[in-house]
Structure 1
Amino acid sequence: MSYLIISFSHKNIDIKMREKLAFNSDEDKDRFIKQLIENEATKEVVLLSTCNRVEIITRSSNVKQSARNIIEKLASYSGLDFELLYDRADIYDNDGAVHHLFSVASALDSLVIGETQIVGQLKDAFRFSQAKGYCGSNITRVMHYAFKCAAQVRNATSLGTGSVSVASTAVAKAKDIIGNTKGIKALVIGAGEMSELTVKHLISSGFDVTIISRDTKKAQNLATTFEVHVNVEPYNELSNLLEKIPVMITATSAPYPIITKDNAPNSSINRYWFDIAVPRDIDEDISMPNLEIYSVDDLQDIVNENMSLRAEQAKTAYGIVSRMSLEFFEWLKSLEIEPIVKNLYVKGNDIIDKKIKKAIKKGFINSSDEENIRKLCQTVITEYLHQPSKQLKDISKNMECDLVVGTVQNMFGFNNDSNIATKYKCDHLAKN
């Protein structure tokens, strides 16, 4: 069995393809994962879908078969050509998959290096699969280490500070364009997590913020969470607001454009619209005088500046990812050894019980001496197995571990019980 990840992101596909691959509802995710686990080679699945990536994280008994099946299902879901997706896909297996997952969790593979949203999105994706029963101990173990790695990167570097999200990058771009932002109005469409982050950055940059959402009550609740006044307008005012407000950032989860040629008004003022949603909220065919539209892929100049400033920190972070990847596999191997060592002692104690009972029955020893004889025998077993146990634990750090584990299991007739589903639960499952 190997870890397998099929990855599509801003690195290998453009925004049009990402829009088609995006999973916009839990129902879509649930339906898709069910299709994947119908394949006999694919055992566990977590599906991560964000504005910049789709990651299929699995365990597979046949990497080639699983990878092909996953991409076939993605092609069917998205309507994209299979060969195109297969050529573009980044396919990682086992150690490569673990290193990639840890890099994603640590925000080193993000459009904006160090952005803080990705680990929360990964936890949400993991919780979803956990709740549905789509992943067991193997995925739980690697997720446990991925979140642990992300925490170490945050603690050891400053990558999580400053302008580190698509939302903050959009606001930084708007501020760069406008210059003096004091009193400049900005419109935020949506009332979800990304919109909340956008409003925070707009306020800190001096903008006068208005929120609009189909769910007006949710928008009002969001507005009350800020220390400064944030205006809320009804959704039917969208066209009027788009005409009058110079800066607009939209981040809804709508599966189709909410701003089209029909509701996008002309205006005499210079306007700057930022679409940080995937699928995009703004119809790509809109073109008007005095209007500039930016999608997530158009923020690359700030992203590049961000990367150069963070290059040294990223080097440290990648060192942590590499070390944690090695530690993870060492830990996995140690899990294979623990049951074997335990079974050696259990088997020894079973033999002691059997032989003592037989000796008492035949009159070789008195029953009154049973406890002392048992303690003596257990001392012999403990001393006898001490060195083999120590060597087995040392072997868990070597490449020969799998071969030795299989040999010892066969030699002593032990069952492979390394997949203990409940023993190693993810510490981060219930955390935010």
Structure 2
Amino acid sequence: MSYLIISFSHKNTDISMREKLAFGSDEDKDRFLRSLLDYENTKEAVVLSTCNRVEIITRSSNINGSSKDILSKLAKYSSLDFDELYDRADIYDNNGAIHHLFSVASALDSLVIGETQIVGQLKDAFRFSQSKQYCSSNVTRAMHFAFKCAAAVRNATSLGTGSVSVASTAVAKAKELVGDTKGVKALVIGAGEMSELTIKHLISSGFDVILTSRDKKKAQILADTFDANIDVQDYSQLSQLLKETKVMVTATAAPYPIITEDIVSPTSYERYWFDIAVPRDIDDIEMSNLDIYAVDDLQDIVNENMSLRAEQAKTAYSIVSKMSIEFFDWLKSLEIEPIIKNLYLKGNEVIDKKVDNAIKKGFINPEDEENIRKLCQTVITEYLHTPSQQLKDISRNMECDVVVGTIQNMFGLSDDSAVFDSFKCEHLDKK
């Protein structure tokens, strides 16, 4: 069994392809995951779908078979050509998959290096699969270390500070275009997490914020979380709001464009619209005095940040590489611990059997039984001490699997898989 990740991101696809691959609802994700696990080769699965990436994270008994199965399902879901998906996909297995997962969790593979949202999005994706029982101990272990790695990167670097999200990058670009933001109105469409981040950065940059959403109650609740005055407007006024505001940021979860040319009026002044939703919220609109920026258009400002973050990213990647190695060492140690435990249990079974027989045959006085058992257990402990230490050392070597199988056969030991299945990710509930 190997870890397998199939990745589509800003690195290998444009936004038009990513919006077709994106999973807009939990129902879509649920159906897709269920269909993947119908295949014999794929045993566990998690789907991470954000504005910049779609990651299929699995455990597989056949990398080639699973890859083709997954890409076939993606082609059917997205109505994209299988060959095109196959050519563009980044496919990672085992060591490469774990290194990629840790890089994604640590925001090193993001459009904006160090952006703070990705680890929360990965946790949400993992929770969803766990709640549906689409993943178990193997993926849980990988996620545990991924979140641990992300925390280590955050603590060791300053990558998580400053303008490090798509929302903050959009606002930074808007401020650059507008210049003096005093008295400038900025419209935010949507009342989700990205809208919350956008509002925070708009307020910080000095914009006057107007908020609208199909769910006005939800929009008002969001507005009330800020100390600044947020003007909540009816969604029915969208066309007029678009005409009156100079800056607009939209980040809804709509599966189709909500802003089409028929609701947009021309103006005599420049307007700057930022569409940070995938699928896109803004249709293809050509109009004078209107500049529209999608996620991919923010790359310039991201590249400026990259040069400042290069050294920090170098440190972060060294942490990812180190923890990837530690992860596989840890997995091997998990295989060894049950072996050592069973060797001691086997020894105790022999002690029980031989002491009981000796008492029945009169070789041992019943009153001496406790002391004799203690003596035998001391002998077993001392006898197995060196082999136990050597087994722990072997767990770090490539031949570990062969040694484990040989010892299990030699001593007739069981595979204590219950130890593995009881594992719980301690980082899951940490924000």
Q: TM-score range by the shorter chain?
A: over 0.9
Match of 2:281 in 1: 281
The DSSP-based 3-state class of the residue aligned with 1:164 is coil
Post-superposition Cα deviations, 1:283-337, rounded to whole Å, max 9, x if no partner, equal: 02x1101000000000111010111110000000000000000000000000000
Tell me whether 1:138 sits opposite 2:138 in the alignment.
yes
Shift of 1:422: 4.4
Bigger shift: 330-339 or 393-402?
Answer: 393-402
Match of 2:351 in 1: 352
Q: What residue ranges of structure 2 are gaps of 5+ in the alignment?
A: none
Tell me whether 1:5 sits opposite 2:13 in the alignment.
no
Match of 2:62 in 1: 62
Tell me whether 1:108 sits opposite 2:114 in the alignment.
no
Shift of 1:143: 0.3
Indicate conservation of the 8 Å contact 1:250/1:274, yes or no.
yes
Shift of 1:359: 1.0
Tell me whether 1:51 sits opposite 2:51 in the alignment.
yes
Match of 2:269 in 1: 269
Tell me whether 1:330 sits opposite 2:315 in the alignment.
no
The DSSP-based 3-state class of the residue aligned with 1:54 is strand
Indicate conservation of the 8 Å contact 1:136/1:421, yes or no.
no
Indicate conservation of the 8 Å contact 2:339/2:408, yes or no.
yes
Indicate conservation of the 8 Å contact 2:147/2:428, yes or no.
no
Match of 1:41 in 2: 41
Match of 2:369 in 1: 370
Shift of 1:183: 1.0
The amino acid across from 2:382 in the alignment is: E
Indicate conservation of the 8 Å contact 1:41/1:62, yes or no.
yes
Indicate conservation of the 8 Å contact 1:168/1:201, yes or no.
yes
Post-superposition Cα deviations, 1:103-146, rounded to whole Å, max 9, x if no partner, equal: 00000000000000000000000000111101100000010000
Indicate conservation of the 8 Å contact 1:138/1:419, yes or no.
no
The amino acid across from 1:385 in the alignment is: L
Bigger shift: 357-366 or 159-168?
Answer: 357-366
The amino acid across from 2:419 in the alignment is: I
Bigger shift: 265-274 or 107-116?
Answer: 265-274
The amino acid across from 1:205 in the alignment is: S
Post-superposition Cα deviations, 1:365-395, rounded to whole Å, max 9, x if no partner, equal: 1111111111111011001000000000111
Indicate conservation of the 8 Å contact 2:338/2:419, yes or no.
no
Match of 1:291 in 2: 290
Match of 1:241 in 2: 241
Indicate conservation of the 8 Å contact 2:213/2:234, yes or no.
yes
Measure, in 2, the Cα distance between the counterparts of 1:275 and 1:345.
Answer: 62
Shift of 1:242: 0.4
Map of 1:14-33 to 2, 5 A cutoff?
A: 14-33=14-33
The amino acid across from 2:205 in the alignment is: S
Shift of 1:416: 2.1
Tell me whether 1:179 sits opposite 2:179 in the alignment.
yes
Tell me whether 1:317 sits opposite 2:316 in the alignment.
yes
Shift of 1:244: 1.0
Measure, in 2, the Cα distance between the counterparts of 1:247 and 1:365.
Answer: 92
Post-superposition Cα deviations, 1:167-203, rounded to whole Å, max 9, x if no partner, equal: 0000000011011111111000000000000000000
Corresponding pairs, count:
431
The amino acid across from 1:294 in the alignment is: Y
The DSSP-based 3-state class of the residue aligned with 1:51 is coil
Shift of 1:90: 0.3
Indicate conservation of the 8 Å contact 2:334/2:420, yes or no.
no
Shift of 1:9: 0.4
Measure, in 2, the Cα distance between the counterparts of 1:405 and 1:262.
Answer: 68
C-alpha RMSD of matched pairs (Å): 0.8
Shift of 1:411: 1.2
Shift of 1:421: 4.7
Indicate conservation of the 8 Å contact 1:188/1:210, yes or no.
yes
Measure, in 2, the Cα distance between the counterparts of 1:422 and 1:322.
Answer: 26
Shift of 1:418: 4.0
Measure, in 1, the Cα distance between the counterparts of 2:326 and 2:174.
Answer: 43
Match of 1:255 in 2: 255
Bigger shift: 129-138 or 260-269?
Answer: 260-269
Indicate conservation of the 8 Å contact 2:271/2:290, yes or no.
yes
Measure, in 1, the Cα distance between the counterparts of 2:32 and 2:15.
Answer: 21
Shift of 1:267: 1.6
Indicate conservation of the 8 Å contact 1:43/1:59, yes or no.
yes
Q: What residue ranges of structure 1 are gaps of 5+ in the alignment?
A: none
Tell me whether 1:78 sits opposite 2:71 in the alignment.
no
Measure, in 1, the Cα distance between the counterparts of 2:422 and 2:92.
Answer: 27
Q: Percent identity?
A: 76
Measure, in 2, the Cα distance between the counterparts of 1:115 and 1:146.
Answer: 16
The amino acid across from 1:245 in the alignment is: T
The DSSP-based 3-state class of the residue aligned with 2:162 is coil
Match of 2:229 in 1: 229
Shift of 1:55: 0.3
The DSSP-based 3-state class of the residue aligned with 1:272 is strand
Indicate conservation of the 8 Å contact 1:114/1:160, yes or no.
yes
Post-superposition Cα deviations, 1:232-260, rounded to whole Å, max 9, x if no partner, equal: 10001100010110100000000000000
Map of 1:149-168 to 2, 5 A cutoff?
A: 149-168=149-168
Measure, in 2, the Cα distance between the counterparts of 1:410 and 1:89.
Answer: 41
The amino acid across from 2:251 in the alignment is: A
Measure, in 1, the Cα distance between the counterparts of 2:386 and 2:419.
Answer: 26
Measure, in 2, the Cα distance between the counterparts of 1:417 and 1:80.
Answer: 44
Post-superposition Cα deviations, 1:258-285, rounded to whole Å, max 9, x if no partner, equal: 000121222222101000000000002x
Match of 1:420 in 2: 419
Shift of 1:412: 1.2
Measure, in 2, the Cα distance between the counterparts of 1:380 and 1:414.
Answer: 20
TM-score normalised to structure 1 length: 0.99
TM-score normalised to structure 2 length: 0.99
Indicate conservation of the 8 Å contact 1:137/1:420, yes or no.
no
Indicate conservation of the 8 Å contact 1:211/1:230, yes or no.
yes
The DSSP-based 3-state class of the residue aligned with 2:239 is helix
The DSSP-based 3-state class of the residue aligned with 1:420 is helix
Measure, in 1, the Cα distance between the counterparts of 2:205 and 2:262.
Answer: 32
Measure, in 2, the Cα distance between the counterparts of 1:344 and 1:400.
Answer: 20
